């Protein structure tokens, strides 16, 4: 992933090699901040409104004042793409912390928040999206306010590392057997034509792609139920998938040492992948369907409600 040269800060645009903050920076010392990752396709932001709204909600939840009004932030982030001549697939990372101040647990007074945003080239994960991925299961030991997209990610990092060490793509997190989400994605189970996922409570991140998937399901007449599923339910699942800004709609074909159904991406997952590509404006020549599955692949018929 290639880092683009220009970075947006709370005061100016700088070269990424010149960006620095004092070591007494609250994001560094306390994880006292929030962030967003926005997908970019062909030089255009995808789901930008959803990400910006969540950024401000997260900042408000931990009492950080964003240095820019929303309209100004949009303008500056668009300029960031222009300055970096972004024309392909990439991601924009934006972080806001409470600022730089002598280390003290109490919020500092009169301190301006630190902000930086940068862009990296990031190709789509085509092969995993075509073939599906394996995941592991892992206890969810995170704090109780996961709806805030904060910098406090150590439990997520540990779970993701364990998945990597076991040769898997992700870790499905669970509280006493009840699945919440993944270490960096939302999780879904399909049974008898219905999608099940954890409700959008404080215990999960309300994913921007997750919100769009719910809209896809309404249009495709696929039942979408915010009802938690368990590790036991996974054993009998017809399909399993996850979603995030960089993983898009990713089929899960194996959990721990067990294959899901026939070990191949399922029909509903394929429908949602195709809906995602259409919504994101992915051209046919870069579609996973056109380039890999087979020429003339036809969209599956929507599944009827089995309940």
Catalytic residues: 149
Tokens, residue 42: 């062909």
Q: Token digits for 237?
A: 């699942």
Query: Could you report how far apart the first and last alpha carbons of the chain are, in Å?
Result: 45
Say if CB 269 and CB 241 are below 8 A apart.
Answer: yes
- How far is 4 from 15, CA to CA, in rounded Å? 9
91's tokens: 């991601």
- Hey, what are 239's tokens? 């399909």
What is the CA angle 138-141-143, rounded to 5? 145
Pairing of strands 248-255, 44-45: unpaired
- Pairing status of strand 44-45 against strand 33-41: antiparallel
DSSP letter for 187, please: E
- In degrees and rounded to multiples of 5, residue 147 shows phi and psi of -70, -20
Q: Rounded to an integer, what distance in angstroms lies between the CA atom of residue 59 and that of residue 68? A: 12
């Amino acid at each position: 992933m290639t880092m683009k040269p220009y970075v947006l800060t709370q005061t100016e645009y700088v070269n990424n090699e010149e960006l620095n903050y004092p070591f007494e920076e609250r994001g560094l010392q306390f994880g006292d901040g929030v962030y967003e990752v926005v997908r970019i396709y062909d030089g255009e932001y995808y789901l930008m409104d959803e990400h910006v709204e969540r950024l401000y909600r997260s900042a408000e939840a931990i009492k950080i004042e964003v240095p820019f009004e929303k309209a100004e932030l949009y303008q500056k982030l668009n300029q960031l793409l222009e300055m970096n001549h972004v024309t392909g697939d990439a991601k924009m990372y934006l972080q806001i912390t409470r600022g730089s101040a002598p280390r003290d647990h109490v919020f500092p007074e009169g301190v301006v928040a630190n902000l930086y945003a940068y862009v990296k080239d990031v190709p789509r994960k085509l092969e995993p999206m075509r073939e599906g991925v394996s995941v592991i299961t892992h206890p969810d030991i995170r704090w109780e306010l996961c709806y805030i997209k904060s910098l406090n990610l150590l439990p997520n990092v540990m779970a993701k590392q364990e998945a990597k060490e076991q040769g898997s793509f992700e870790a499905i997190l669970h509280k006493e057997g009840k699945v919440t989400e993944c270490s960096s994605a939302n999780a879904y189970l399909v049974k008898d034509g219905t999608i099940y996922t954890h409700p959008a409570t404080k215990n999960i991140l309300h994913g921007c792609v997750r919100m769009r998937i719910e809209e896809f399901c309404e249009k495709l007449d696929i039942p979408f139920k915010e009802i938690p599923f368990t590790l036991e339910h996974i054993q009998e699942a017809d399909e399993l998938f996850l979603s995030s800004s960089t993983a898009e709609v990713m089929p899960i074909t194996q959990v721990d040492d067990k294959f899901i159904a026939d070990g191949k991406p399922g029909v509903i997952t394929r429908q949602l992948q195709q809906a995602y590509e259409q919504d994101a404006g992915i051209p046919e020549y870069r579609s996973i369907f056109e380039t890999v599955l087979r020429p003339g692949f036809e969209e599956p018929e929507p599944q009827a409600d089995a309940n």
